[in-house]
Structure 1
Amino acid sequence: MKISARNVFDGHIDAVRLGAINSEVEVALPGDLKIVATVTNDAVRELNLAAGKPVQAFVKASSVLIIPGSGDVRVSARNRLGGSITSITEGPVSSDVSIALGNGQTVHATITHEASVALGLKVGTPAIAVFKAPSVILGVAG
């Protein structure tokens, strides 16, 4: 399968919390990292999502926000993955930012060029990739 999402994370389900309409699915990644996805209860049933099941989590780069530094910034988004900026490709409208995580994986974010400049992003500096749980798409084999 080929997909257009730049961020693909292999992991396994740690927990499923059922709600009235949607469920929260915690996905454990290598290196003690975690991603939370919000999916419909129908998706939980149809994909047979349960603790221990291997999954892939997909996040479009345009859904990822960047917080420079490694400070304790409070945001409502459930997913925060910290690391170090490894590359920035500047365009006249958008910038592509890559953040290496401690577990060897990379998170890609597409942000506006103006935001990249205003945030003072630089290769080698710490940054946090932030994205909301509904932005996470889950996939299972078969």
Structure 2
Amino acid sequence: MASATGAAGAAVVPFVPPGGRCLRASERNMLEGIVTAIVYGAVSAEVGLLVNERIVIDALVPNSTVAALGLKPGGRAVALIKPSFITLIDDVPGLALSARNLIGGTVVNVLTGPVEAECVLDIGEGRELTVLVTSHSARALELEAGRQILASFKASHIIVCALDG
């Protein structure tokens, strides 16, 4: 997926909808992958997206949207995840979560302000995940470069975009 860097290092990805006008997204967490499976429910489907050999993201997508986007196993898609929708947690044996997605990463950078902190995680194969937490949480988790941490987010907090071709 081609992307450019906008202000403050945010990725900007062009999107051309029907009609040919180009849209760009400011979301920093854009993870491209291959659709592995689609399991339909009454209203929404669970869409599996293989990001790399160790990460599969599960997203909840309305059935009508799955059809409108033409999502199918083997197709390419992008998961958009807002940084404030991600929770950081210590790797605790036996920890049970309701969030469907759990990704391990290494802290690359932490920018801490008086209220909020931005943490960038290396999740492997050149991919990063940006997370926003309170400054208090950043201190409590002792976030610093090199620290191993888990990122967790709900399947319903993901926007899925289909890629052509």
TM-score scaled by length of structure 2:
0.81
Mean Cα deviation higher: 129-138 or 102-111: 102-111
Deviations 1:80-108 (A, max 9, x none): 11011111000111000011113321111
Mapped pair 1:133 → 2:144:
no
SS in 1 for 2:137: helix
Mapped pair 1:46 → 2:47:
no
Which residue of structure 2 lines up, in the alignment, with residue 115 of structure 1? 137
Mean Cα deviation higher: 97-106 or 75-84: 97-106
Retained in 2: the 8 A contact 1:31–1:102?
no
Retained in 2: the 8 A contact 1:31–1:103?
no
TM-score scaled by length of structure 1:
0.94
C-alpha separation between the residues in 2 aligned to 1:136 and 1:37?
A: 6
Instruction: Report the residue type matching 1:18 in the other structure.
Output: Y
- Percent identity between matched residues is 30
C-alpha separation between the residues in 2 aligned to 1:95 and 1:122?
A: 11
Instruction: Report the residue type matching 1:22 in the other structure.
Output: S
Q: How many residue pairs were aligned?
A: 141
* RMSD (Å) for aligned C-alpha atoms: 1.2
Unpaired runs of at least 5, structure 2:
1-13, 15-23
SS in 1 for 2:143: coil
Which residue of structure 2 lines up, in the alignment, with residue 7 of structure 1? 29
Higher RCO (Cα < 8 Å, 6 or more apart):
1
Which residue of structure 2 lines up, in the alignment, with residue 97 of structure 1? 119
Alignment of 1:52-63 (within 5 A): 52-63=74-85
Unpaired runs of at least 5, structure 1:
none
Report the Cα offset of residue 39 of structure 1: 0.7
C-alpha separation between the residues in 2 aligned to 1:8 and 1:71?
A: 27
